[in-house]
Amino acid sequence: MNCFVFDIDGTLIDTAAVDQQSFQQALREFGYHYSLEELRFSFGMPGRKSLEKLAIPAERIEPVMARWETLSRDRLHEVEVYEGIIPVLEALHAAGKRCGIVTSRTRLQLGYGFTPLGLNHYFDAIVCADDIEHPKPAPDGLVECIRRLGGSAEQAVYIGDSAYDMQCAAAAGVKSGLAMWGSETPDALQADMRLTHPSELLLL
């Protein structure tokens, strides 16, 4: 493998609790009451799509999104990089491998919720949901990322934690690696590779 493409949330960093609790609180402040279990579907899905799936009126989507982003930003100090991720990124970089990101985050969300963690320099290309017309689970972002990396689908792997990631990889003709260290429902997902620790990527 020459190109290693990663999802962010649930793959590189542990954001599940912060993301879901902030989403729940933002909705509650606008009068929508859901349990965390009812909102579980949204993890890994672009925020606006999550709100549309909940049938939130169009005129309220932007205000809810803005509040959700504020609540998440205020809790950034609770977010941690998964154990083993940084050594693997350093090893891949040293070996001359090309690394990229395809995320359901927007550029704004990337800026306040990922860039401050200091990992951007490990990646040669980052494709956000608002960089393309059709975000995950469509293959557009992954295809674009591999193009920017100068690679090919045959020599690439996409590592993620959700059904949207696995579907994206399959649609792009790219091998999928399930990040079991961050997946909420690993037993329910189909993947080409099931990874129990980031270090297993160095064997590919």
pLDDT tens per residue, range 31-55 = 999 999 999 888 878 888 899 999 9
- Tell me what pLDDT residue 186 has: 87
Describe the crossing of helices 16-29 and 58-74 by its angle, rounded to 10 degrees.
130
Q: Please, which residues bridge with residue 81 across strands?
A: 13
User: Which residue bears the tokens 């200091």?
Assistant: 118
Residues 10 and 44 in one domain: no
Residues 67 and 85 in one domain: no
- Count CB neighbours of 75 within 10 A: 15
Interval 157-179 mean pLDDT: 97
How many domains is the chain built from? 2
CATH number of the domain bearing residue 126: 3.40.50.1000
Question: Cα angle at 192 between 37 and 39, to 5 degrees?
Answer: 10
Residues 35 and 99 in one domain: no
Interval 145-156 mean pLDDT: 97
pLDDT tens per residue, range 108-129 = 999 999 999 999 999 999 999 9
Residues 189 and 126 in one domain: yes
Q: Are 137 and 174 in contact (CB under 8 A)?
A: no
In the numeric block, which tokens belong to residue 11?
């793959």
Share of the chain above pLDDT 90, in %: 93
pLDDT tens per residue, range 64-83 = 999 999 999 999 999 999 99
Interval 139-163 mean pLDDT: 97
Residues 7 and 23 in one domain: no
Parent domain of 103 = 3-14+79-203
pLDDT tens per residue, range 86-104 = 999 999 999 999 999 999 9
pTM for the full predicted model: 0.92
- Tell me what pLDDT residue 144 has: 98
- Tell me what pLDDT residue 184 has: 83
- Tell me what pLDDT residue 47 has: 87
Q: Which of these, 40, 39, 46, lies nearest to 8 by C-alpha position?
A: 46
Mean residue pLDDT across the chain: 95
Residues 47 and 104 in one domain: no
Residues 53 and 7 in one domain: no
Residues 28 and 128 in one domain: no
Residues 190 and 140 in one domain: yes
- Count CB neighbours of 203 within 10 A: 8
Residues 105 and 117 in one domain: yes
